[in-house]
Amino acid sequence: MYLCALRRLRRWVGLALLAGTAAGGVAAAGPAPGALVVGFDRDFPPYEYLDDNGRPAGFDIELMREVAAAAGIGVAFQPGHGPDLVTALEAGRVQALAGVFHFARLERPLAFGASFPEVEFAILTRAGTPEISSPDGMAGKDVLVASGDAVDEWLQARALPFRSTAVGSPTEVLRLLAAGGGGCAMMARAEAAFLMGRLKIANLTVSRSPIFLRPYGFAVKAGDAALLARLDRGLAEVKASGGFDRLHRKWFALLEPQRGTLTWIFRHGVLFVAPLLVLLLAVFAWSRMLTRKVEEHTRRLREELAERARVEEALRESERRFRSLAEVVPFGILIVQNDTTVYANREAAQILGAAAEEITGSSAWPFVHADFLELVKARAMGRLAGETGLPDRYEVKIVTRAGAERWIEMAVTLTNLGGRQATVMAITDVDDRRRARDVEAAIYETSRAAGASENLQELFASLHRTVARLMPATNFYIALYDAASDLMSFPYFVDEVDDRPEPLKPGRGLTGYVLRTGEPLLATVEAIAELERRGELESLGAPSVDWLGVPLKVGGATVGVLAVQSYTGTVRYSDADRQILSYVSIQAAQAIERRRAEDDLRESQRQLSTLMSNLPGMAYRCANDADWTMEFVSEGCVALTGYQPGDLVGNRITSYAEVIVPADRDAVRQAVDEALAARRPFELSYRIRTAAGHQRWVLERGRGVWSDAGELVALEGFIADLTERKNLEDELRQAQKIEAVGRLAGGIAHDFNNLLTAVLGSTELLQRRLAGDEGAQDELATIHRSALRAAEFTKGLLAFARRQVLDPVHLDLNAFVSEAVPMLRHLIPENIRINVHPAAETDVVQADRGQLTQVLMNLCVNARDAMPGGGAITIETGNALMDAAFVAAHVGAREGRYVCLRVADTGVGIAEENLPRIFEPFFTTKETGKGTGLGLSTVYGIVKQHEGFILAASEPGRGSTFTVYLPAAAGRDLPSAPVSQTAVRGGNEAILVVEDEPEVRKVLVEALTGLGYEVYQAADGLAALEMLRRGLAVGLVLTDVVMPHMGGMELCEAARAAAPDLRFLFSSGYAEDTVHVGFIKKEGIFFLAKPYGIDALARKVREALDTPSAAPPAP
């Protein structure tokens, strides 16, 4: 009996393991974009299953592929199991199910397609036992079924004279029945035949008559009639073409009973062999009858003895496997009988913090936390008493042998052990999961509070309550930093000892430290002492035992600090608390920022509402019927809707309900009905479609008009145009995106310019040093050209970031295009032709060559992407004279003489509705990952910066044309580049080089020394200022602008306070205008933009040294 109990326990543990494995799942490959995601059962062969290579297979899979192909739909498959697939369909993770049984409970969530042939379900028995052909024959037997399949659901819906046992998968059902478990089994006939063949099980018999039939077919989510219709049509086409019958024969011909074959043999064979059979039967009947009886008796006896031996060995092997399995499963197993633990595996001992020998033989309850002891005992006793409705799985708190409190999840079932009932508990440590769940709940609560709080103080209090649920937070405060005033305030401060501080500048306190570093800080007494010793911290306020602070960051900037602290040793914080508070701070920062933005938006909306009430709009009075039939409308309806008042009154031309965009009508009706039900005014925004077909946003304010008898008489209100406001909000978001990308681009360009300065300088030094080595000169010239090209690239980045002033020269567009075409050949594949049609003569333009190159490249790359199958790009130039008529017809154009650059392609074209948006930043119709939406917006910005404009024309399927118009320069005889450069010469003056980049500093020192100057160097502004204060006499300070410790401008101000005539030459990777503001235009201060070569450096140094003091340099 003990062995039988262990056997049942093994099955239960196996189910728990299967459940754990199923929870992990196998992630399906991501479907192709636009594909129909179809869910299927991973273990229902031969209908649908995962084959040995993990690929979808089966009749349903192949049929769905052909149905989808016939319907013109791409298809991808997502494996699952049973009810989980219905849940996935309802949640939208899949859009259809390949095969599902038709049960009444599924008619609400699902819409079923045309059924396939009904699935037969049969009864399986072991060979040598009587065949069962009806439910009555299973009376008193233990019927094995697969968990969660159609049989399980069919049995649960009926009161039948037998008991069913759910045993995991169909494979396990067959193996268990074949091994002697259970009395019989039920499953789909084809499924049983398929699996018995694959598992090589020969001692089972399938009933010849079906026990029941169940409709079966594909399904979609209820309400998705369009998809269902397409699939039904596809199925009809597959059936009509014979594909359905072909697949059915392929998968089921060998699995179904071959009744037709036997009939044919009988009907045709009897005509030829009947005489022979009669003769043979007459001769051998008697002897064969005796032989068969002996052989049958012997065979049965041999099989019975072999089966008994095999079952006994299987049972012993099962017991050995259970013991091995129980010691390696990833959860604890406890068996409790009469309140005493009789078995504990290794994982249970580890969770409880005690040896298995200590647990076994002792009371089961000392490890249960006092708060849960009565609950656990009551449920255990109730389960033993046969009480129903008790949960099989729940979470409780335990106390380990070391006294630590932890959460576990307990799954409970009963077994028979030694003839008495015992409780089997599977326990899993879920302490980390609980903590993560609490943090997730806190984050959700923080997000919810951001929208629900009336003001910031209410939000701060909610944050305090949220943190207090995760850790001790008696002393809690929020500090916010205002960069404009450089002040740190404490809008929320709850503390047992200190009062709320007044706003102050961030100092060297704990809060200032976190604000300054942007990193979380767990400041214990020891950590505080160490920070004070290093000079990074000064004590402010009452000393705390533990202080824990985390930064509040928005967009990478630290905007505040959230902190908790403890003044007693009984409350200490840990690294886990620091991590949790950091998680919460991310959401808290967003919530605070969102609340601030919402407050600002609310104030803006209030002001806008006041303004809108005085703007022209449509006043109305209407009936509260389905059409909102107008009784009166003001003249403002013409400007708002395009309809005359008489068109709307009485619904003469159209009703106002028809003017509202169909997608918004139900929401408008619901909002108005709710307000009327509460007898309050209503205010709502929605979209309308004007008489000309244009869509507009409107804001409606109205109220119901009731008679003295309390009856609703009419609705009165005012409707105003909100379209401009909506557009402004969209433009603001786009501007913010551009600003963010601009800052990033500018930073990248700054770093590249520093690197390129070192590369250019080093290359030119080597060119001079190796003047006689022609081979080296060629290679160095290649490096030099590449560095100059890279410099042009960084100029493009700075221009995009609006940190680069243009370097305009006079350009001949014909020559410019001719020089650019070889470069374009590297970007355009061979299946696309490039045709160039320059005008016979064009005016010159004043433009930045690098920026204009970027314009041409972006337009050609866009054209390339529009022709994946090949085509032609045509580049044309020409002159154009814009008159008043042209300007009136084209937004952004101005009168005058222009030179045009036109790029046309033969690609797919641009849809008419997308054409007005193509120059918007981040707008793209390309697939995700294949376009940023910045190409044409960059082109637009560059053209605008050159005081030109760009026009686009396109026709879907016939290509697109972009025409850039640039103002013609004043004259054609102006040079396109400086005529000559003055000869490079050095000097013997003393120069102090201040540069934080070692490579750049080394090149500058070597270059200036080679020019004859006396050169001193410093790594930052502080070091340079110290050298000057010690008496270093120099004629010029060559300094970087942005450096650690002290920047170049701070150095200049400090040094010129003592030596007003000291000359400064600034050098920066940013453009001149970012450093110019109110500073570099002063006398004796010069600027040299990185990257630069030695010749440019030498000329600028001489200019700075030779320019008379009375003549300030040109900006």
pLDDT of 614 higher than 70 = no
- Single out the residue of 736, 749, 744 nearest to residue 1071, CA to CA: 749
104-143 pLDDT per residue, tens: 778 788 888 877 778 888 899 998 888 887 777 888 888 8
By C-alpha distance, which of 793, 606, 768, 786 is closest to 1095? 768
> Is the backbone of residue 1000 left (phi > 0), alpha (psi -120 to 50) or beta?
alpha
Quickly state the pLDDT bin for 7 (edges 50, 70, 90).
very low
pLDDT tier, 781 (very low <50, low <70, confident <90, very high otherwise): confident
CB-CB neighbours of 135 under 10 Å: 17
Q: Which CATH superfamily is domain 435-599 in?
A: GAF domain (3.30.450.40)
CATH 3.30.450.20 domain position(s) in the chain = 330-429, 615-721
Q: Is the dihedral of CA 76, 79, 83, 84 positive or negative?
A: negative
In the chain, list all ranges with CATH 3.30.565.10.
806-967
Show the tokens assigned to 739. 């600003």
757 and 1090 Cβ atoms separated by less than 8 Å: yes
Q: What was the pLDDT predicted at 322?
A: 63
DSSP letter string, 237-287: HHHHTTHHHHHHHHHHTTTS--HHHHHHHHHHHHHHHHHHHHHHHHHHHHH
Is there a cis peptide before residue 1091, judged by omega within 30 degrees of 0? Answer: yes
> What is the identity of the amino acid at 162?
F
Query: Mean pLDDT throughout 582-603?
Result: 82
**What is the sign, positive or negative, of the torsion defined by CA atoms of 176, 180, 186, 187?**
positive
Residues β-bridged to residue 164: 143
The residue ranking higher by pLDDT, 259 or 693, is: 693
The answer to whether the peptide bond before residue 829 is cis (omega within 30 degrees of 0) is: no
- 408: phi then psi, degrees, rounded to nearest 5: -130, 155
Tally of CA atoms within 13 A in the half-sphere of 348 that contains its CB: 25
Section 981-996 average pLDDT? 82
Compute how many other C-beta atoms are within 10 angstroms of the C-beta atom of residue 678.
10
Q: What is the mean pLDDT of residues 997-1021?
A: 92
Q: In sequence order, what are the residues at sequence separation of 6 or more whose Cβ sits closer than 8 angstroms to the Cβ of residue 860?
A: 824, 827, 828, 834, 873, 875, 903
* Weakest mean pLDDT among 1-5, 222-226, 573-577, 1016-1020: 1-5
Q: What is the mean pLDDT of the chain?
A: 81
Spatial distance between the Cα atoms of 860 and 874, rounded to a whole number of angstroms: 9
What mean pLDDT do residues 1027-1038 have? 94
Return the SS3 of 31: coil
- Rounded Cα gap, residues 921 and 934, in angstroms: 5
Q: Which of 1072, 1067, 1115, 1113 is nearest to 1091 (CA)?
A: 1067
**219 vs 595, residue with greater confidence:** 219
Digit-coded pLDDT (tens) for 868-882 = 899 999 999 999 988
Whether the CB-CB separation of 97 and 89 falls below 8 Å is answered with yes
Find out whether 1097 and 1007 touch, Cβ atoms under 8 Å: yes
Q: pTM score > 0.75 for this model?
A: no
Q: Fold for domain 32-252?
A: D-Maltodextrin-Binding Protein; domain 2 (3.40.190)
Is 856 a residue whose pLDDT tops 70?
Answer: yes
Q: Tell me which of 148-157, 702-711, 838-847, 1011-1020 is least confident.
A: 148-157
Helix (H) or strand (E) holding 733: helix 723-769
1041's CB contacts (< 8 A; 6+ apart) are: 1047, 1048, 1049, 1066, 1067, 1068, 1070, 1075
Q: What is the pLDDT of residue 761?
A: 76
Q: How confident is the model at residue 804 (pLDDT cuts 50, 70, 90)?
A: low
Judge whether 661 and 677 are in contact, CB under 8 Å.
Answer: no
**Model confidence pLDDT, tens digit, residues 700-749:** 999 999 998 889 999 999 998 888 777 667 656 655 665 666 666 666 76
Cβ neighbours for 727, distance < 8 A, ≥ 6 positions apart: none
Residue 509: CA count within 13 A, CB half-sphere: 19
Average pLDDT rounded to a whole number, residues 417-427 = 87
**Above 50 in pLDDT, residue 262?**
no
What is the number of helices (H) and of strands (E) in the chain? 32, 40
Identify the CATH number of the domain defined by range 615-721. Answer: 3.30.450.20
CATH 3.30.450.40 positions along the chain are 435-599
Averaged over 427-451, what is the pLDDT?
Answer: 79
**pLDDT exceeds 60 at position 801:** no
What is the CATH number assigned to the segment(s) 990-1106? 3.40.50.2300
Mean pLDDT lowest among 489-493, 690-694, 930-934: 930-934
pLDDT(286) > 60: no
CATH 3.40.50.150 fits 330-429, yes or no: no
* % residues pLDDT > 90 (the chain): 29
Return the SS3 of 448: helix
What long-range pairs does 998-1005 form, CB within 8 A, spacing at least 24? 999/755, 999/758, 999/762, 1000/754, 1000/757, 1000/758, 1000/761, 1000/1040, 1002/758, 1003/757, 1003/758, 1003/761, 1003/762, 1003/765, 1004/761, 1004/1038, 1004/1097
Predicted pLDDT of residue 1076: 47
Is residue 19 pLDDT above 50, yes or no? no
Q: Which residue reads 């089961």 in tokens?
A: 364
pLDDT exceeds 90 at position 672: yes
Angle at which helices 1021-1029 and 1048-1058 pack, to 10 degrees? 10
pLDDT tens-digit profile of 447-460?
787 777 778 888 88
pLDDT given for residue 839 in this prediction: 92
CA–CA distance, 1047 with 1024 (Å, rounded to integer): 11
**For residue 555, how many other CB atoms are within 10 A of its CB?**
11
The boundaries of every CATH 3.40.50.2300 domain in the chain are: 990-1106
Residue 690's pLDDT is: 93
Residues of the chain with CATH 3.40.190.10: 32-252
Q: 806-967: what fold?
A: Heat Shock Protein 90 (3.30.565)
Percent of the chain having pLDDT more than 70?
81
